[in-house]
Structure 1
Amino acid sequence: MKFRDFRRVKAQPGLTAMIDIIFLLLIFFVLSSTFVLQPAIKIELPKTLTSQLPVRKEVVVIIARDKRVFINNKLTKYSEIFDRFQKESKIQPNGTVVIRADRDVAHGFVVKVMDIVKQAGFPNLAIATEPVNLEK
């Protein structure tokens, strides 16, 4: 007696359901993630073609238009800048200081702050800029 050769259909996973679950997980993680906001100090950075984002942990100095100095988002009096940087240099001996100065601040004031930073023991300085938008 000869039996028919039944070929079994192999079950395949439902890709539609799996894609739905992946998109739901993606939406969940996007909505539940936290976003880091820059401080609410209004400054306008000068624009350059070769701007780069800082890569590692650094001390951020913000110099506002009215010459107020913020070190890591804390308002610091001009007379206390050196002491504050000495404390920071003990925490991060080879750290980098990023200076975010408003473009309307006098160049001489920014240079004075840079000199204080160097005297306090920070060998690495960077000046933050914004990239120029060439598309118009």
Structure 2
Amino acid sequence: MARKKYASETEEAKVDMTPLLDIVFIMLIFFIVTTSFVKPMGVEYSVPESNTPNNSQKSDNILISIEKSGLIKIGDRLVDIERVTANIQQIRAEAPEASVLILAETEARHGLVVKVMDYVKIAGVQKVSVAEKKKG
């Protein structure tokens, strides 16, 4: 009895899909289990409570604008250079913790900016910032 070396033409090659499906289901279960234990990352913090009432002190900034023509404005009012100290003291009477921002145009005279800074220091302001105001 001779054996056939080749399969007959009626037999077809078959691939067993059972082990492949087993691996897919095991991987699916693994990913479901591992993702359910992941904690979201983040920073925990607590906001401190304020002991002071909100309306007790006004802490608005005082804006002094210096134009290249030499005009000085405190807020929206035109002010003479000699009256800067008095105006700052008046505003600070209402808001003692207010800081001053001097906004000078690029072409403004530096001597005028320094003089305004001196008058602000005479008024008793410790927090003074200077910024450049560009035209455009």
TM-score normalized with structure 1 length = 0.51
Q: Is residue 2:136 matched to residue 1:125?
A: no
Structure 1 residue 130: deviation in Å? 6.4
1:1-136 maps to which residues of 2 (within 5 A)? 57-129=60-132
TM-score normalized with structure 2 length = 0.51
Number of corresponding residues: 76
Structure 1 residue 74: deviation in Å? 0.6
On the 8 A contact 2:89/2:123 being kept in 1, the answer is: yes
Structure 1 residue 79: deviation in Å? 2.1
Give every structure 1 segment of 4 or more consecutive aligned residues whose post-TM-superposition deviation is greater than 2 Å. Answer: 128-131
Q: Which runs of 5+ in 1 are unaligned?
A: 1-55, 132-136
Q: Percent identity?
A: 28
Q: Which runs of 5+ in 2 are unaligned?
A: 1-58
Greater relative CO (CA pairs within 8 A, separation 6+): 1
Distance 1:67 1:116 in 2: 15
Greater Rg over alpha carbons, structure: 2
What one-letter code is carried by the residue in structure 2 that aligns with 1:84? N
What one-letter code is carried by the residue in structure 1 that aligns with 2:81? Y
What one-letter code is carried by the residue in structure 1 that aligns with 2:116? V
